[in-house]
Amino acid sequence: MISQDMSSPLEAPVCRRCGMCCLRGGPTLMVEDVSRLVSGVLTLESLVCLRVGEWARDDTRGELRPLEKEHIKVAGLGGQAHPWRCRYYRDGSGCAIYAQRPAQCSALFCMNTAPLEELLGNEPLLGRAEALKALAGGEQLPGFPDVNEETRAFLPDLMAAHEEQSPVTPVLEAAARLGFAPRGTQAHGNGMDEGEERQALLADIGEAVRADAAFRQLCVERAGVPAAMLPFLLGRPLQYLLVEVGLRPAASV
C-alpha cells in the first residue's frame, strides 16, 4: 500500500513516487506518446497491443467489458505478484524513464484522478497503424536495427491482415457462450450442456487458435518479423486470451 503521508494537513498532497501504481501496471499510450516511440525511449519490443474484444476493466463503470478500441500498453513482466508490473520500474530507484514517461504516467496521481480522467476523456489513444506510420520515416526501427526496409514496409499490411483473419471478438464471444469469461461478468459460469452447438463452438475456437498461431509463425519465418515484436504487431496469441478466461488450449484445440 501507499506509504504514510508525513506532509502537513494544510499542504496539498503530492505524489511520493512510491511506485505502487507502476507495480499495478504500465500505461497505455496516447497519440502524444508517439514521439517517445520515434525517439526510441519506448521500443516496440516493450509494448503489447490489447485488441478490440479483449476483456479489460472499465474504471468509469467499475466492471470488466470487452475493449471497443485497441490499446497499446507497456507490457508487463509476468510473475505472480504483479504480472502487469511496468518494465521501466526499478526497485529502489523508480521509473527508469521518468523525465520522458508517457502521458498517462504524468497525469496519474492516485489521490486526485481528475487530470488522468481529463486526459482519457479528451485525448485520443495511440493505435498501431498510427504508431507504424510515425515510425516509417526513420532510418531504422528503434530497438530493431536489423529489420530491413522490405519487412518494415510490410508491417501495416501484416497487422491489418491478421486483424481481419484472427479477430478477438468472435473467439472470446464463443468462449463466453461456453461459460468461459472473467469472474464477475454475466457470461461467467453459464456454460451450455454438452451437445452439437458446444462441440461446434469448440471446433471454431480451435480453428481460430491454429490460424492465429500459424500467422505468427509465418510472420517470423517468412516475413522476417522479430518474434519480440509480435505482441505489439499482432497482440497476444488467442490461445493466451482463452487461458485467461479459463479455457485451456487442450480443451479448445
Nearer to ligand SF4, 47 or 229 (CB): 47
Choose, by CB under 6 A, the member of 27, 53, 235, 237 that binds ligand SF4. 27
Rule CB under 6 A: choose which of 47, 48, 103, 108 binds ligand SF4.
108
Interaction between residue 119 and ligand SF4 (CB under 6 A): no
Per CB under 6 A, the list member of 86, 131, 175, 238 interacting with ligand SF4 is: 86
Q: Which is nearer to ligand SF4, 110 or 220 (CB)?
A: 110
Eight-state DSSP code of residue 63: E
Q: What is the distance between the alpha carbons of residues 118 and 107, in angstroms, rounded to a whole number?
A: 9
d(CA 34, CA 134): 7
136 binds ligand SF4 (CB under 6 A): no
Place of cell 514521439: 35
Per DSSP, the residues of 65-93 read EE-SS-EEEEPB---SS-TT-BTTEETTT
192 binds ligand SF4 (CB under 6 A): no
CA distance 119 to 116: 5
Nearest CA-CA partner of 66 in 149, 154, 187? 187
Provide the minimum distance between the beta carbon of 247 and ligand SF4 in the complex, in angstroms, as a whole number. 30
69 contributes a contact to ligand SF4 by CB under 6 A:
no
Region binding ligand SF4 by CB under 6 A among candidate stretches 100-108, 128-136, 158-166, 241-249? 100-108
174 binding ligand SF4? (CB under 6 A): no
Contact 128, 49 (CB under 8 A): yes
- What DSSP character marks residue 55? E
List 55, 84, 88, 180, residue binding ligand SF4 (CB under 6 A): 88
Which of 103, 96, 100 is closest to 77 using CA atoms?
96
Residues in the chain, overall count: 253
In terms of CB distance, is 65 or 90 closer to ligand SF4? 90
In the bound state with ligand SF4, the residue whose beta carbon lies nearer, of 75 and 171, is 75
Indicate the residue among 28 and 239 with the shorter CB distance to ligand SF4.
28
Nearest-angstrom CA–CA distance, 229 and 240? 16
How many amino acids of this chain bind ligand SF4 (CB under 6 A)? 23
- Smallest CA-to-CA distance from 87 within 97, 105, 73, 75 is with 75
Residue 55 vs 88, nearer CB to ligand SF4: 88
Q: Which residues bind ligand SF4 (CB under 6 A)?
A: 2, 15-22, 26-27, 74, 86, 88-89, 95, 97, 101-102, 105, 108-110
